[in-house]
């Protein structure tokens, strides 16, 4: 019975230091964490100006993720593939957080413009009057 561990995550039996010489991809974890923060703050804290925090963290996450992906593509044998996947996922989450933040900002601008011009629908005015009573 032959054991074939060459494609294993633990490395090659003939060269045990094969995967241990690889480094973590710089800024991959930062991009991932900022992507998660951007989505959470944009969605959960949208009424408390969380969309601004989501906008800032998503932009920083996109920059960090883009740099990490570029570094991996320049020298893939130097870094672990896990870091590359983490950077890609962080960049994806940052795009989602950016989209949600921009949608909320557009909605806020729309309501402000409609209120300033006096064209606010009756339903929103009733909602506003109801909230003022509390």
pLDDT digit string (tens) for 83-120? 999 999 999 999 999 999 999 899 888 888 888 887 76
* Exposure class string for 44-56: b at 16+ Cβ within 10 A, else e: eebeeebbebbbb
- Model pLDDT, residue 128: 64
- Residue 115: the pLDDT is 80
- Rounded to whole angstroms, the Cα distance separating 50 from 55 reads 9
Low-confidence ranges of the chain (pLDDT < 70): 1-20, 120-134
Model pLDDT, residue 6: 44
């Amino acid at each position: 019975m032959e054991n074939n561990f060459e494609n294993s995550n633990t490395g090659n039996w003939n060269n045990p230091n094969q995967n241990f010489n690889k480094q973590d991809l710089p800024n991959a974890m930062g991009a991932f964490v900022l992507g998660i923060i951007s989505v959470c703050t944009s969605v959960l804290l949208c009424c408390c100006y969380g969309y601004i925090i989501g906008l800032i963290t998503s932009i920083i996450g996109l920059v960090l993720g883009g740099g990490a992906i570029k570094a991996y593509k320049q020298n893939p044998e130097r870094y672990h593939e896990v870091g590359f996947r983490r950077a890609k996922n962080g960049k994806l989450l940052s795009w989602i957080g950016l989209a949600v933040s921009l949608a909320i900002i557009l909605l806020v601008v729309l309501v402000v413009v409609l209120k300033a011009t006096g064209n606010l629908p009756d339903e929103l005015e009733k909602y506003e009057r109801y909230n003022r009573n509390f």
